[in-house]
């Protein structure tokens, strides 16, 4: 353990349980484990049950990033990982503090973010007595049970001596294989108990060489199948992002002259201004991405679970037709291979290492591709047609402002390396479809859970991780108001995040469902009792938080307002009055339309 801990405790008086002066509290040991992992930020909210760990981390120079609600802290920690690939760590109070994190932790887990969650609990010696704030309806001190469906592993540590095994295991489980969330449920007396820390590093308790390529025979078979394909295509998922395999992905694509489509979560792993890029696929993907995958005779799928939204509800003929397309699937998790579609070649391995091996095999044996010019010409023709299809709404001069017009203006105004953090609705699926991502880790969204309220606090976490980059949250009025308290953290810490609010006075995506299938908008619009559209005044709200803010109602004013907003080096809110009656351009298929078609008739 570090000399710093020894110095902190050198003057500590020995108690009856102290064997040596080198003993440390459970909280200090846990903080030291985090320090060894390179953790410099812990997100959360304080409580009497978790303050010992807040103090211990502070003593070791680990910053506590406090939010006014634990869900916001979880979203911020999640986005912090996504832009830095540094472990997400959350430290919260027991019971209501922990239950407040459920949505945020589930969001992170669904998108394979490695997250370690620490929650305080009632003193262990009171568990059988059902103490104050304890969750004990079916079992004593059982708050962790709620997290079993979303965590890779849940521990309740009732004896501080067990921390020396649990901490390294938790750090291992969260970060290896398919990453995910783990929970350590710690009674507050365990934080304060003294233990003899082991003389070892946390990293010595897990694999040191995580980037293992797939089986050599599988790699050769995959390369051979790709070489012989007449129209190969690549489908890249979040596993490419997690493995940082974007250079290897590009190498394979360029050797094959194969078009690349991505999942929404993987947007940016392949530069979308590249001649082979098709953008994201699926229900709200680009038309050319769906067409490229449908027209492929061989598909190389890397690091994707083939989620419903990315695959048009798995209905053949919209995004995929497997078979007859032949599938090569590469994933770190064996259970993903063949889960949705039958595979011709299934390879378990790290995306970066395995793509590098496939690229090497292709380089050794590939002949010049006589169809490359023809394929590039065809892709450019599809791209031009797609851009033409979008042009009308992107140039719309009506009021309220069409969300496609707003996205087009944002794309022109934002610096090339801007990190966009999206919420749900047009600002997520529309942005995924119509914004151009030229770099990895620049499009952060809630994929698996599609969590409304993700973006406002997540943008703060992203900006903490990348302080020298512009970070913009794209969020609707409904999503923003569900977590508006996130602004306090930005102001308190001086974090210059830009929030762009698509204000349409409704939950617009669900309003579309209501009006399309039920001829009813009941419950989806924000109005006063007399039916007038209602929202709080966002400019006054921002001012009350200490933010600069502006409002745009005229399309012609967008360019100037966005330029000012992106230039601001302080927390800034830009409200844009947008239409709430325009559905997302749907290029794929969502099978809920089949049973919603008759409404309640």
- How would residue 12 be classed by pLDDT, with cut points 50, 70 and 90? very low
Distance from C-alpha of 514 to C-alpha of 580, rounded to nearest angstrom:
12
Task: Supply the mean pLDDT for the chain.
Answer: 93
- Under the banding of pLDDT at 50, 70 and 90, the label for residue 214 is very high
Q: What span, in angstroms and rounded, lies between the C-alpha atoms of 578 and 535?
A: 13
Residue 262 has pLDDT above 70, yes or no: yes
Domain ranges, ordered by start, for the chain: 3-205, 216-380, 395-596
pLDDT tens digits along 289-338: 999 999 999 999 999 999 999 999 999 999 999 999 999 999 999 999 99
Weakest-pLDDT range from 259-273, 345-359, 366-380, 460-474: 366-380
For 2, phi and psi rounded to 5 degrees? -75, 155
Residue 1 has pLDDT above 50, yes or no: no
Q: What is the pLDDT of residues 29-69, one digit of tens each?
A: 999 999 999 999 999 999 999 999 999 999 999 999 999 99
Please state the rounded mean pLDDT for residues 88-98: 96
pLDDT above 90 (res 136) = no
Of the candidates 309, 551, 284, the one whose C-alpha atom is nearest the C-alpha of residue 426 is 284
Q: How far apart are CA 53 and CA 36, in angstroms?
A: 15
- Please identify which residue in the block is written with the tokens 């070892």: 200
Please write the tens of the pLDDT for every residue from 225-239: 999 999 999 999 999
Spatial distance between the Cα atoms of 577 and 584, rounded to a whole number of angstroms = 17
Mean pLDDT of 282-295: 97
- For domain 3-205, give the CATH number: 3.40.50.970
- Residue 502 φ/ψ, nearest 5 degrees: -85, 95
pLDDT, position 367: 55
Flag whether pLDDT at 16 surpasses 70. no
pLDDT range class, residue 4, cuts 50, 70, 90: very low
Could you give the CA distance from residue 226 to residue 299 in angstroms, rounded to a whole number? 8
Q: How far apart are CA 202 and CA 108, in angstroms?
A: 23
Distance CA 146, CA 102 (A): 8
- Residue 299 pairs with which residues in a beta bridge? 233, 327
In whole angstroms, what is the distance from residue 400 CA to residue 18 CA? 69
206 pLDDT tier (thresholds 50, 70, 90): confident
Average of pLDDT values for 254-279? 97
Mean pLDDT (whole number) for 121-132: 82
Say if residue 204 is exposed, middle or buried (CB neighbours under 10 Å; 0-12, 13-18, 19+).
Answer: exposed
Sign, CA dihedral 425-430-435-438, equals positive
Nearest 5 degrees, angle CA 211-CA 359-CA 287?
Answer: 100
Structure tokens at 338: 């063949």
Spelled out in words, what is the top-level CATH class assigned to the domain 395-596? alpha beta
Strand, coil or helix: 156: strand
Strand partners, 443: 420
Taken in order 314, 320, 326, 331, the sign of the CA dihedral is negative
Indicate if 395-596 has the same CATH topology as 3-205.
Answer: yes
The pLDDT assigned to 82 comes to 98
According to DSSP, the residues that pair with 346 across neighbouring strands are: 329
pTM reported for the whole predicted model: 0.94
Beta strands per DSSP E along 315-442 = 326-331, 345-348, 419-422
Supply the angle between the helices 486-493 and 70-84 in degrees, to the nearest 10. Answer: 60
What is the CA 155 to chain-centroid distance, rounded? 24
Which superfamily does CATH assign the domain made up of 216-380 to? TPP-binding domain (3.40.50.1220)
pLDDT digits (tens, 9 = 90+) for 565-593: 999 999 999 999 999 999 988 999 999 99
- The answer, yes or no, to whether residue 92 has pLDDT greater than 70, is yes
pLDDT value, residue 402: 98
Residue 65 burial (CB < 10 Å; 0-12/13-18/19+)? Answer: buried
Asked if residue 143 lies in contact with residue 185, where contact means CB atoms within 8 angstroms, the answer is yes
Quick: pLDDT tens for 446-463.
999 999 999 999 999 999
525-561 pLDDT, tens per residue?
Answer: 999 999 999 999 999 999 999 999 999 999 999 999 9
């Amino acid at each position: 353990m570090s000399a710093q801990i020894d110095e902190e405790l050198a003057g500590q008086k020995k108690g009856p349980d102290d064997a040596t002066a080198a003993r440390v509290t459970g909280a200090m040991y846990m903080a030291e484990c985090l320090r060894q992992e390179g953790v410099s930020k812990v997100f959360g909210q304080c409580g009497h049950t978790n303050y010992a760990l807040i103090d211990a981390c502070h003593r070791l120079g680990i910053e506590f990033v406090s939010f006014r609600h634990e869900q916001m802290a979880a979203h911020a920690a999640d986005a912090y990982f996504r832009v830095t690939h540094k472990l997400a760590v959350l430290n919260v109070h027991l019971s209501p503090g922990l239950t407040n994190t459920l949505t945020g932790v589930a969001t992170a887990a669904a998108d394979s973010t490695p997250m370690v969650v620490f929650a305080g609990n009632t003193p262990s010696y009171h568990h059988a007595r059902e103490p104050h704030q304890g969750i004990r309806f079916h079992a004593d001190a059982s708050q962790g049970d709620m997290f079993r469906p979303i965590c890779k592993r849940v521990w309740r540590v009732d004896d501080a001596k067990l921390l020396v095994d649990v901490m390294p295991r938790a750090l291992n489980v969260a970060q290896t294989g398919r990453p995910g969330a783990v929970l350590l449920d710690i009674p507050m007396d365990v934080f304060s108990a003294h233990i003899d820390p082991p003389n070892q590093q946390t990293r010595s308790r897990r694999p040191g060489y995580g980037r293992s390529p797939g089986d050599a025979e599988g790699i050769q078979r995959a390369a051979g199948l790709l070489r012989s394909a007449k129209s190969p295509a690549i489908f890249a998922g979040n596993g490419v992002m997690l493995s940082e395999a974007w250079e290897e992905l590009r190498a394979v694509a360029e050797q094959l002259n194969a078009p690349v489509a991505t999942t929404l979560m993987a947007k940016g792993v392949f530069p979308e201004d590249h001649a082979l890029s098709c953008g994201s696929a699926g229900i709200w993907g680009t038309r050319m991405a769906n067409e490229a995958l449908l027209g492929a005779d061989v598909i190389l799928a890397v690091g994707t679970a083939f989620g419903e939204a990315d695959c048009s509800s798995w209905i053949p003929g919209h995004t995929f037709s497997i078979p007859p397309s032949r599938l090569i699937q590469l994933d770190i998790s064996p259970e993903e291979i063949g889960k949705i579609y039958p595979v011709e070649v299934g390879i378990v391995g790290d995306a970066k290492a395995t793509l590098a091996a496939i690229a090497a095999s292709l380089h050794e044996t590939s002949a010049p591709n006589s169809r490359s010019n023809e394929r590039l010409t065809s892709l450019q023709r599809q791209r031009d047609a797609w851009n033409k299809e979008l042009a009308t709404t992107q140039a719309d001069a009506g009021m309220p402002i069409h969300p496609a017009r707003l996205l087009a203006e944002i794309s022109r105004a934002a610096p090339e390396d801007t990190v966009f953090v999206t919420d749900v609705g047009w600002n997520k699926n529309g942005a995924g479809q119509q914004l151009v991502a030229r770099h990895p880790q620049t499009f952060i969204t809630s994929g698996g859970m599609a969590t409304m309220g993700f973006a406002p606090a997540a943008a703060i976490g992203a900006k903490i991780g990348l302080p020298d980059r512009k970070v913009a949250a794209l969020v609707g009025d409904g999503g923003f108001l569900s977590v508006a308290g996130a602004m306090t953290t930005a102001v308190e810490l001086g974090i210059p995040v830009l929030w762009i609010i698509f204000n349409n006075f409704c939950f617009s995506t669900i309003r579309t469902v209501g009006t399309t299938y039920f001829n009813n908008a009941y419950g989806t619009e924000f109005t006063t009792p007399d039916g007038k559209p209602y929202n709080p005044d966002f400019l006054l709200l921002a001012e009350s938080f200490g933010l600069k803010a502006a409002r745009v109602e005229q399309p012609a004013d967008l360019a100037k307002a966005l330029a000012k907003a992106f230039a601001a080096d302080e927390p800034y809110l830009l409200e844009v009055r947008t239409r709430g009656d325009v559905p997302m351009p749907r290029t794929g298929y969502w099978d809920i339309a089949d049973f919603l078609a008759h409404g309640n008739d």
